[in-house]
A = this chain, B = another copy of it.
Amino acid sequence: MIKAGIIGGAGYTAGELIRILINHPQVELVFVNSTSNAGNKLTDVHGGLLGETDMSFTDQLPYNTIDVLFFCTAHGDTKKFLEANTVPSDLKIIDLSTDYRKESSEHDFVYGLPELNKEQIKRAKHIANPGCFATAIQLALLPLAKDQVLTEVHVNAITGSTGAGVKPGATSHFSWRENNISVYKAFEHQHLAEIRQSLTHLQNNFTEDINFIPVRGNFTRGIFASIYLKYDGSVEDAEKLYQEFYKDSPFVIVTDKNPDLKQVVNTNKCVLHVEKHGNKLLILSCIDNLVKGASGQAIHNMNLMFGLNEKEGLGLKASAF
């Protein structure tokens, strides 16, 4: 059994991580650290766990009891923590924050997108888990980058409210958000950096714009990205490209049917669909932002790091309705 600990256990990604790990046949969840909730039961914060665990949050960090430590900390806090604390050198770390996604000679975190970096992940000690938008958009574009055919990219992606975290605010107030649509950080979302980093690894000369409009949707879970760009090939060419690129990626499904978001909600899948219109290739990409876009992907990375079947514990039922 792999023994796991979590730091920052009160947020949405931690809740999702716990809900999945609790049913993972090869994992024992040893502790969930939360300074704000130390002493409280997990179920006080994550009500969906009722009947599944009696564990309480702890303010302790017994590193020696675990094999892997998940950071579900706020952006910036993982780095601060690791600079201020000494963790055992052989402890595996999976960081769900943005802190180590940018490659640098100053750290050894591997960017944990299994469809791009599976072999490095298997050998990695430290993983920087990708962002949710970044996951949906990269999976839609990687095959084209590999084929050196990326041109200026047009992305509109709508996200569920859980992407904005548990802290209440004006744009997560139910009375405002219900039945509402709005745009934020147009052309300037912070995930663009990691997207471009991955794409240029595959297509070195790619320098054109990635025009990205993030949209706040009136639903809780999921990202639905509509992406298009100029493309000379046929739709059959594109489908073949995508099928080939993802032939060893069990969570990416390339479908020839027009997809909808709820096909992936509550699962670790990414569903992709391509269409050709005039000289444009349209790619639709759907994920669950909390699963494939965060905690499910973190567990996928853990499975790879520990040599498990990569689907272990991730056979999650789609909510579908």
Contacts and interface: CB of A to CB of B under 8 A. Distances in A.
Nearest to A263: B47
Interface stretch (A14-22, A55-63, A68-76, A93-101): A14-22
Nearest to A168: B168
B211 A180 contact: no
A315 B217 CA distance: 28
A257 B316 CA distance: 27
Given A173-B166, A262-B48, A318-B48, A178 B219 contact: yes
Contacts of A211: 154, 228, 280
A185 to B, nearest CB: 10
A178 B177 CA distance: 10
A317 interface: yes
Contacts of A188: 277
Size range of the chain A interface in the assembly: 35 or more
B156 A174 contact: no
A186 to B, nearest CB: 5
A223 B9 CA distance: 29
Contacts of A173: 166, 168, 172-174
Could you say which of A48, A251, A267 has the most chain B C-beta atoms within 10 Å of its C-beta?
A48
Contacts of A250: 51
Nearest to A320: B48
A37 to B, nearest CB: 14
A260 B47 contact: yes
A50 B275 contact: no
5 contacts: A181-B222, A182-B258, A182-B259, A182-B260, A183-B284
